[in-house]
Amino acid sequence: MTSPCSRWTRRFCLFVLIAAISSTAIVRSVMAAITVDQLSGEAVSGVGPHVQDLEDAIKKFGQGDLDAAKKLLESAKKSTPKLPPVQVMMANLLFSSGRNDLLGQARAELEKGVKDNPNDPEPLLIIGELALRDGRLTEAGLVLEKAVKSVAAFNENPVRKKKLQIRAFAAAALVEETLEDWKSAKEDLLAWIALDPDNAAAHQRLGRVLFKLESVTDAFKEYQAAAKADKNVAPAEIQIGMLYSQAGDKPNAEKFMNAAIKRGASDFRTQLTLSQWMLNTNQMKEALAHANEAVKLDGKNAEARITRGLILRAQKNFKGAEEDFEAVRSQSPSNAMAINQLALTLVEKPDEASQSRALEFAEMNARQNARNLEAGATLGWIYYKLGRRSEAEKVFNAIIQTGSTNSPDTMYYLANYLNDQGKPAEAQRLLNSALQGERLFAYRQQAEDLLRKISSKAKPKAAPAAAQGAKGDK
């Protein structure tokens, strides 16, 4: 593997790219209640004697009877040998609980699965995915390299083999992309696309890799393939323009962005993506203009309204931002992002009624999305803004203990808290991380101001010239 990222950049690359494997069984099961299809890895049809056993296993697990659940999994595997190993299914049940006290047991099941099923690649593959998700890149690379070979030799279930191969190539490429081993990533992504030619995410990731390898024409073709496969993917011109922008090549970035505007002036996805890119690069005036166009083209699109609301909130137009977030909430009352942003908008308004509503929304969102770190961080910030410092402290300390502070907004909240706690060096470190890169950050200006304030206090005051001379004369 070549040219590794810096420590911060590597963590940020992983944070951005990790979504590419979010469809794997292990990640998916943590995010929502597990289903029979997820438990079976969709390796067999939805009919057969195993279905009732798996349904009962999920119920028994939900009731806390882990032994009974495992026996039912064993029964299902016996009746339907093409299912994943019992240890894999049990590990996925344990992960689906979201309980930290069961993580060790889940990992133990996987280790046993590797030992008891030497010809089945999935236990090893999940161990590699876990290492990747946790940022242990060296371990992930070594394990996934073995997993790719193991899947290639696996022939017990062609349907399951294909799904496992796609997961293995996607995860292995993710390690290589994060470590900037572009040539190896290209090979694994091409292997993934050969198995799944209409996968937009695979084409997008290959486009980025080819751009890094200076094959811009081929990268453009991959982005075109991605846009063809998924109408929600931004046009190729915008994707290449963003990559040039990230590389600091402003002329080429503008060239491709202008081409996108010319080709798709009346295209909703073009206008929306341009507004999002300009928001992330702090071009607020231009971002708002494109967001307005996107809303004109599709006023009921939640993504467009949320994007415009974010721009308006960053510009401190809290009235306009509130209207956009409320519009989305009225259409989709459970939209966690809209509720989260509405709470952050309302807390900035001076009247007590708005601030009370902000707290109400933040508490509701954190309660309904208990595993959503951003919802929790927002609640902590609103407690902090409203002077409820003891409650804010509990939330922030819990977040600090998890070590999951990749969101720049969360970093900003914690930096304020840590600075007040007399820990300016830790606050400064978080602010520096929050301000790195081109990504959405509504508090960018405030973060820059706070960083300057902390940095100025940290500089030792120079002694007067006369005093320095006197000291030297002695």
pLDDT tens for each residue of 249-279: 989 998 998 899 888 788 899 999 999 888 8
pLDDT of residue 15 exceeding 90:
no
Q: Within a 13 Å sphere around the CA of 380, how many CA atoms are in the beta-carbon half?
A: 24
41-63 pLDDT, tens per residue? 888 877 778 999 999 999 999 99
Percent of the chain with pLDDT over 90: 69
Can you list the pairs that 77-81 forms with residues at least 24 positions away whose Cβ atoms lie under 8 Å?
77/50, 79/48, 79/49, 79/50, 79/53, 80/44, 80/48, 80/49, 80/50, 81/156
CA distance 365 to 165: 37
For residue 253, the tally of other CB atoms under 10 A from its CB is 20
Region 201-225: what's the mean pLDDT?
97
Measured between alpha carbons, how far is residue 1 from residues 127, 172, 195, 341, 461 in Å? Answer: 20, 12, 25, 40, 46
The residues, any chain, with a CB within 8 Å of residue 8's CB and separated by 6 or more, are 433, 436
- Report d(CA 200, CA 468) in Å as an integer: 66
CA distance 279 to 439: 8
Tell me the three state secondary structure of residue 32: coil
- What's the pLDDT tens digit per position in 393-412? 999 998 888 766 678 999 99
Assign residue 154 a region (left: φ > 0; alpha: ψ between -120 and 50; beta: otherwise): beta
CB 88 within 8 A of CB 122: yes
325's tokens:
């977030």
Taking the C-alpha atoms of residue 95 and residue 103, their distance in angstroms, rounded to an integer, is: 7
CATH architecture, domain 1-178? Alpha Horseshoe (1.25)
Cβ(447)–Cβ(415) under 8 Å?
yes
Q: What is the pLDDT of residue 48?
A: 78
Looking at the chain, the domain(s) classified CATH 1.25.40 span: 1-178
Residues 6 or more apart whose Cβ sits within 8 Å of residue 331: 300, 302
Q: What is the pLDDT of residue 465?
A: 53
- Count other C-beta atoms under 10 Å from residue 413's C-beta: 26
Confidence tier at 19 by pLDDT (50, 70, 90): very low
CB 270 within 8 A of CB 227: no
